Amino acid sequence: MNVINFENIALTDAERQPCEVWTRVMGYHRPVSEFNRGKKSEYYSRLCFVEEKAVSHLDYNTDSCACAAE
């Protein structure tokens, strides 16, 4: 069985396949490349949801958000 060492593989930009990013907008999916300038600006300023940060704020004794009681 042949084992491929992927660490030694180097691709030039000409060899790479472009990746098209799609996102959900107004109830349907569209490629980001087709957005107008304003929508692209909005898309790139979005923050990604991080589950660990959201879960760390839960108060497990009351099954509600601990910050809501403040």
- pLDDT at residue 54, rounded to an integer: 66
Number of domains the chain contains: 1
pLDDT per position as a tens digit, 7-65: 888 888 888 888 999 988 778 899 999 999 998 999 899 888 777 766 766 665 555 55
pLDDT for 66 beyond 70? no
**Could you tell me if residue 24 is inside a domain?**
yes
Domain membership of residue 11 (yes or no) is no
State which residues form the domain around 31.
18-69
**Banded model confidence at residue 68, pLDDT cuts 50, 70, 90:** very low
Q: Is residue 35 part of a domain?
A: yes
Angle value at C-alpha 43, between 18 and 65, nearest 5 degrees: 125
List residues bridging with 1 in a β-sheet.
none
DSSP 29-65: EEEGGGS-HHHHHHHHTPPPP-HHHHHTTEETTTTEE
Q: Please state whether the predicted TM-score (pTM) of the whole model is above 0.75.
A: no
